[in-house]
Structure 1
């Protein structure tokens, strides 16, 4: 059988190319998914993937069709958890600070509170659901094959992407963007096109979330083993076998603390692939001895390879938002509309009391309970400030939460920071600095974005969802001061807008970098300087793709899975 048929042919039809509408909405019964406590002490596989997140799941599903694959996930299953599944419960998981929460909170050295996923499906289990592709220019610049990238996007979309059900508030934001000059109106599309568009969502018409874990439906069950609550502690290297260190195994622990070892079977094409995210992947490389030698020695870690760029060029797209109280009730919605401007700012929106935070549901998208506290500058966002803001919010009248947020995220960004180890435990957060607005162009993009949001708020299309007597400067000051009045400024000039951007910056959870292509990995995502090891996830991105990256992270997992299988099958054909 030819190579193309082996990857895309009849042997895969019915497994790889079904549509979401043909799939049951019930939680899948994955026969290959187990708790790591049931795993043998030693095991052997063709591929070992560390991280069952947004990239790791599609990668594992693809590789399982021509190899034996072990997927290690430090968290549990998303299925059966309504706080993950239901749109109306967005934020509940992000507000859960327990040691077993699917969301692990971290605070950057900048003072911005953030989250990293700890669950099968990764960030797609926690996010606001917006699904949109990277721009064609991005695909070309990265060096991906456009046709395979397009096929890989479609592969994911058949299972997890949907057209959102638009309500009046989101429609008003869309029309306001067009009226504000964010043209043209591109309607509904997954594509990244300048102008205003309605994007996809991973929430279906019933408000049920579909995650990257659903892409495991595509897997060959006999070729895949998924272990939950399996925390990888170290990549094992054979150092003297070849001119370069060769990755050949992984040490991981289960929920009881028992140690397990998984090794690669003998074979030149067998590999370990790290897909642990922008914090987890550089962290695991360092814990395994691949990273800045001075830092590794400071933690008594044996240096396998002095690689000073591991953990460097970390970025997080800053988010700034304006809350607009509405005289009319508004629908509960997450991100559905985006304005892709010519000057490098993306305008999006969310609405409804569940996402502003309310006395009943004070864990909304912009609630202090999940760490999104814009009412105090980043360095002052202490636990005490969060607690005070949450308490004051709970005492507000229900009417105070009738409205929504219009937000902006800057493209890129250009500003970068770095990541360092704090401890030798993979369960502990590393130290990370993003340096928000360090580069003046990032700050100017924020100011331009706020100015565009002002035009949307002042537009005729949006007029019925705002009070006539509240000016945009008043809305800015209200956003930055209530319910905790610690920023009594008046943001109504360019200089003041710069202050607003810096004072109220939050995360939109799109952080990336740390293992970038060209500095840590090559264009095939192989770690430079060692053999049999790749990194495939958002840590390899130089800039965040599209307006929201999850579609491209899913695509990348599928795309690289196909490429790796092509290499493997070509090698097998040559050996015959």
Structure 2
């Protein structure tokens, strides 16, 4: 028996476990389906793609995507301490001020969340109005600084876009270098930043290799969880709350397996309906991105990381190509006139990045593309079996709304225009798998054929429908959801930092602490 049982030791779960266990008067159990984060590839920044399709990856795919030529699109998610923060590209982006204000949820405006972003942050630039120093999460300048990514920013400026040296400051628009969740050249996952310093606490227990099968519900209240470790059934009980922090795919799956979800679907699989909640698993959103891979003969891409001199540089100096997070630079643009905020984001990597990261680089290359920041399309996550080990059916429905495809095509045009600038000329010798032409029709076909995920699923247990503004599951006592699934709509940017801030605020909500004072914004 513990006071709090947290399911999922990922971007949110590690934060919750660390913050809740700060109170020595409560007991906390953090449960993770995967193993400890001891694999070397977790901590070497550039090695993250080597974790794809391994035992540290949930290894999901979409169902046939009807607006992407019925392709199935690979969806990696971390199955290890740190969750996807142990295998992501480490870009530290918070999103746009308007994103949080538009949620229209009490306590979740940008002014109210900014103090939680600052609390978590240990930014090597130091503290200021927008940033924090001394927090658990290392936020650093990238140490790779590949000449190709430097050239891309130069080319973007030549194309007429502004420079931006802080995408988490007063404005998002423009191009520049991304800050990354690293400390001293190594990945700073939430397991490394938040959980590891908390492990010596006697009131914190971490259970790894334990896949939760369902939430126990007794007398209308969440009372614990059941699951299996290496074939052995285990039950862990919660005196105060069960908190699902399993992510936008697994949290709705666990709710459905526990009898909380669309009643007709649950009955079809013989699962007793505990709570008819049709919005569980609905409202799925993601950032679709279509990459351009420009091949060239300059020996400066991340294909060089296997060379002994760069391995030695990483080991001795914690610098060089092995510290690259992949998308070292990027930017935010408005693809048409009349927009109040950016609608597309570029990620630029000094490498050939094909097939969602599953393709092996065959040439030196620079890879980049624009993602759709505020998609209108919505998908679903549904169980396909009462067997808890069966993967859920994930349908993102990318480009179901034609306006999303319009943004993607305009973003593709901007990417092609940047490639024509003098600053990038030496790295754009040949476009790999080019569109047939630059007509609207051919660019639309190209987008449908080559779109991949940007790894940012959200929205499937949204505030206002599935959970309330304190992240409590509506209609069920003792049960909360705290992860990216509670976002009513996607933020304009990478989702790791927002998920950490959500967990920071949730920890205060759960322990009844006074919220941090809202920031005074002009």
TM bin, normalised by shorter chain, reads: 0.7 to 0.9
Aligned counterpart for 1:300 among listed residues 258, 262, 270: 270
Structure-2 residue corresponding to 1:76: 35
Distance 2:474 2:53 in 1: 38
Which runs of structure 2 are paired with 1:158-169 in the superposition (5 Å)? 158=122, 159-165=137-143, 166-169=145-148
Per the alignment, in what secondary structure is the counterpart of residue 503 of structure 2?
helix
Aligned counterpart for 2:12 among listed residues 47, 55, 66: 55
Aligned counterpart for 1:155 among listed residues 116, 119, 129: 119
Distance 1:210 1:461 in 2: 33
Q: CA deviation at 1:107?
A: 3.6
The answer to whether the aligner puts 1:139 opposite 2:100 as a matched pair is yes
Q: CA deviation at 1:545?
A: 2.0
Aligned counterpart for 1:282 among listed residues 232, 252, 260: 252
Per the alignment, in what secondary structure is the counterpart of residue 347 of structure 1?
strand
Aligned counterpart for 1:549 among listed residues 492, 495, 507: 495
Distance 1:188 1:292 in 2: 43
Q: CA deviation at 1:205?
A: 5.0
Which runs of structure 2 are paired with 1:142-291 in the superposition (5 Å)? 142=103, 143=105, 144=108, 146=110, 149-158=113-122, 159-165=137-143, 166-183=145-162, 185-191=163-169, 193-206=172-185, 208-214=186-192, 215-219=194-198, 221-239=201-219, 245-255=220-230, 257-265=231-239, 270-291=240-261
Q: CA deviation at 1:108?
A: 2.8
Distance 1:149 1:224 in 2: 26
Aligned pair in 2 of structure 1 residues 60, 205: CA closer, same or farther (>3 Å)? closer
> Which structure 1 segments of 5+ residues have no match?
1-43, 240-244, 357-364, 373-389, 394-399, 481-488, 570-576
Distance 1:339 1:252 in 2: 43
Give the count of matched residue pairs: 457
Distance 2:497 2:227 in 1: 29
Distance 1:436 1:405 in 2: 21
Q: CA deviation at 1:227?
A: 0.5
The answer to whether the aligner puts 1:341 opposite 2:333 as a matched pair is yes
Asked if the contact 1:164–1:204 (Cα under 8 Å) also holds between the matched residues in 2, the reply is no
After superposition, give the CA deviation of every residue in 1:38-71 in whole Å (9 maximum; x if it has no partner): xxxxxx1111111111111101110112221111
Distance 1:77 1:102 in 2: 13
Comparing 217-226 with 173-182, greater Cα deviation is found at 217-226
Aligned counterpart for 2:88 among listed residues 89, 114, 127: 127
RMSD (CA atoms): 2.1
Per the alignment, in what secondary structure is the counterpart of residue 117 of structure 1?
coil
Which runs of structure 2 are paired with 1:481-520 in the superposition (5 Å)? 490-520=436-466
Asked if the contact 1:170–1:337 (Cα under 8 Å) also holds between the matched residues in 2, the reply is yes
Aligned pair in 2 of structure 1 residues 46, 145: CA closer, same or farther (>3 Å)? farther
Which runs of structure 2 are paired with 1:16-31 in the superposition (5 Å)? none
Distance 1:568 1:204 in 2: 30
